[in-house]
Structure 1
Amino acid sequence: MRVVRFTGPRQVELAECPPDPLGDGEVRVRTRFSGISAGTELTAYRGTNPYLTRTWNADLRLFTENAGTPGLSYPVVGWGYSEAGEVAEAAEGTGFRAGDQVWGIWGHRSEAVVPAEKLRRVPDGLDPLAASFARVGAVALNAVLSADLHLGEVVTIFGQGVIGLLATQMARRSGAEVVAVDGLAARRARALEAGAARALDPPGVAERVREHTGGAGADVAIELSGSYLALHEAIRTVTAGGRVVAAGFYQDEGCGLRLGEEFHHNRVELVSSQIGGVSARLSGRWDQARLNRTFLRLCAEGALDPVSLVTHRLPPSRVAEAYRLLDTGPGDALQIVLDFDQE
């Protein structure tokens, strides 16, 4: 069994490990596709993830320092959360059988033994590669639901990586007018293909959004880049009383975020969106399972197209190249998928 592991900041390798035994209620899955996240995963690759220096206290729901061992330490093994594969064998009573196409979260590894309740079948007619996007698609959908968009409203979406482009597709399908923001020309072009009305370079974007909206500003902004400067600019783009959904994974201190300016004077509502839960007002109707099901159903119906976002399908042996490309050449790589069928 081969597994991807980080041995230190910007140090990644493909290691060999003995396969896990199959136990009661478990399924052995042979990985076909494993998508690399250019957001959360790169924080572990670069060494900026807060779990590397702090401990998350689940009872208090606080990060604490000087509380013993950090929540994450090198080597980080099997990072990843966008997998699709084929059942190789299954224990009695799991309901799975060899050959079933499934998706789930088991990390960048050639095979995994997974509790049956953690696996889901790929919907009929859906490309398994599309199913590997289930988790990132749920992140985008959660942010769009948190935005509480209405027909005819204007939303600015900052960051047109994979999740941003999926959010752009969803917001457009919801009847909103999307103004996409990204510093890379290639991604702005992708945003227009995804249905954005305009795609803007970040400098001066708040003024241009107000010009576009007759001086009012956007109704809502969704920030997905994880940049504090972008979050500050998202706050500047919305109208008085507007909403900003902060859905990026922000690292270190908030340099460039000045809350005494537009945030304070325009009484902007700032909402956090994170895949660990849904907005409180939706919790009676939505959960993570529904986010996943809805995203995959929309993909199967052709309403969303995640596969078109794949720019590189690389064999696992080239994993170091894959992370290096995402880290240093985001203009050349959008979604990189480790294709275990190639080896």
Structure 2
Amino acid sequence: MTGSQHVVSFTGPRQVGLVEAAPQPLRPRSVRVATWYSGVSAGTELTAYRGTNPYLTGTWDPQARLFQPGAPSFAYPVEGWGYSEVGEVVEVADDVRGWTPGQVVYGIWGHRSDAVVDVAALRGTLPPEQAMAGCFARVGAVALNAVLAADVSLGDRVAVYGQGVIGLVATRLAVLSGATVAAVDAVPGRLERARDMGAATTVDARAEGGAGALVRAWAGGGVDSAVELSGVVSALHQAVRSVVVDGTVVASGFYQGGAEALRLGEEFHHNRVRIVASQIGGTPVALGSRWDQARLVATVMEQVAAGRLDVLSLVTDVVDAPDVGSVFARLDANDPGILQVVLRFPAAPTA
């Protein structure tokens, strides 16, 4: 067993740091991984930082699948969040076969310096020089899940609202699926990156008259489907405005608070728009049992390995883990220069 480990801890709203934690004992059918890199989520994890996550404000009833008033399901300090980790196997349980020390693996074990991970949870291996690509396995799966929910076909016109990391990956995956894509965002630099990902046109979300009207005009009467990934309710409303009659909007953002900007008596009602939720906990029901999270991850990483999906270009910041507080402060301030931030832990290779 290694010495003490360190883990990112949210100790209260807008309070986050790296704290010491007891090492985890090696279990049967598990390996110990020394973390190299861990990708920061600008969506889910930011809700923990801000204190707006519904698990921090109410009780989740897993049987009824309802949030209820009462004691929060999670309470500060919240530790171990993070779902985009890469590291090196340093110890293997006696009953494990096929995994050996020295392998670079990726999966989900949270922002911590080392972790004991069940082998069933390891998603694959990477060459050391491509290790950081593993930080995109989960976010890529989120993007692909949303594109699958949009039922994108060759020749479709699709709008992707929000060109953060997941939105940019979704734009690329929709293009690879044969769609002609309009990318929408309020940050010019992100729109430029969307063009690099293959978007046929880009629309400024701040456009007079609303981005939805511009997208609708570009598509000659509306896009076949729209994928909303910004988590901004007003963007969801514009997505509704942009689709054809009987079109589909995939709501894949993690929306916080109320939804006054979503005006359901307007285009949603008169154009019979279908809004479909997409969340990584499940794949589109129309796909049945053929798709699951493992297949989503594998498909994304196959595109990365084949050179069809460039994720490493989306890394804007690599930050030593003890400086995690500065990362969330910048995300909270909506720094337009940030895309994917990666936390670097001491075990990561130098240079």
TM-score scaled to structure 2, two decimals? Answer: 0.94
**Count of aligned pairs:** 340
1:55 Cα offset (Å) = 1.5
Q: CA RMSD in A?
A: 1.4
Q: What is the match of residue 72 of structure 1?
A: 74
Q: Are 2:227 and 1:225 aligned?
A: no
1:114 Cα offset (Å) = 1.4
Q: Deviations over 1:118-140 (max 9, x none)?
A: 11322568812111211100000
After TM superposition, the structure 1 = structure 2 runs for residues 145-294 of structure 1, keeping only pairs within 5 Å, are 145-202=148-205, 203=207, 204-214=210-220, 216-294=221-299
Q: Distance in 2 between matches of 1:294 and 1:254?
A: 34
**SS of corresponding position for 1:283:** helix
**SS of corresponding position for 1:108:** coil
Q: Is the 8 A contact 1:146 1:245 kept in 2?
A: yes
Q: What is the match of residue 132 of structure 1?
A: 135
Q: What is the match of residue 341 of structure 2?
A: 336
Moved more, 124-133 or 261-270: 124-133
Q: What is the match of residue 82 of structure 1?
A: 84
- Calculate percent identity across the aligned residue pairs: 54
For residue 240 of structure 2, what is the amino acid of its counterpart?
I
Q: Are 2:25 and 1:11 aligned?
A: no
Q: What is the match of residue 144 of structure 2?
A: 141
For residue 156 of structure 2, what is the amino acid of its counterpart?
E
Q: What is the match of residue 313 of structure 1?
A: 318
Cα distance change, pair 206–329 in 1 and its aligned pair in 2 (3 A): closer
Q: Distance in 2 between matches of 1:332 and 1:209?
A: 25
Q: Is the 8 A contact 1:158 1:230 kept in 2?
A: yes
Q: Distance in 1 between matches of 2:335 and 2:138?
A: 21
1:54 Cα offset (Å) = 1.2
Q: Is the 8 A contact 1:125 1:300 kept in 2?
A: no
Q: Is the 8 A contact 1:100 1:121 kept in 2?
A: no
Q: What is the match of residue 36 of structure 2?
A: 32
Unaligned runs of 5+ in 2: none
Q: Is the 8 A contact 2:104 2:127 kept in 1?
A: no
Q: Distance in 2 between matches of 1:284 and 1:120?
A: 19
**SS of corresponding position for 1:284:** helix
Q: Are 2:71 and 1:45 aligned?
A: no
For residue 211 of structure 1, what is the amino acid of its counterpart?
A
Cα distance change, pair 187–338 in 1 and its aligned pair in 2 (3 A): same
Q: Distance in 2 between matches of 1:19 and 1:210?
A: 55
1:271 Cα offset (Å) = 0.6
For residue 80 of structure 1, what is the amino acid of its counterpart?
G
**SS of corresponding position for 2:290:** coil
1:210 Cα offset (Å) = 2.5
Q: What is the match of residue 67 of structure 2?
A: 63
Q: Distance in 2 between matches of 1:225 and 1:209?
A: 16
Q: Distance in 2 between matches of 1:262 and 1:177?
A: 23
1:342 Cα offset (Å) = 6.8
Q: Is the 8 A contact 1:78 1:107 kept in 2?
A: yes
**SS of corresponding position for 1:45:** helix
Q: Distance in 2 between matches of 1:271 and 1:159?
A: 17
For residue 45 of structure 2, what is the amino acid of its counterpart?
E
Q: Distance in 2 between matches of 1:108 and 1:200?
A: 35
Q: Distance in 2 between matches of 1:86 and 1:209?
A: 45
1:207 Cα offset (Å) = 2.0
Q: Runs of 4+ in structure 1 displaced over 4 angstroms?
A: 123-126
For residue 231 of structure 1, what is the amino acid of its counterpart?
L
**SS of corresponding position for 1:139:** helix
Q: Is the 8 A contact 2:216 2:241 kept in 1?
A: no
For residue 34 of structure 2, what is the amino acid of its counterpart?
R
Q: Is the 8 A contact 2:248 2:276 kept in 1?
A: yes
Unaligned runs of 5+ in 1: none
For residue 115 of structure 2, what is the amino acid of its counterpart?
A
1:49 Cα offset (Å) = 0.2
Q: Distance in 1 between matches of 2:183 and 2:310?
A: 18
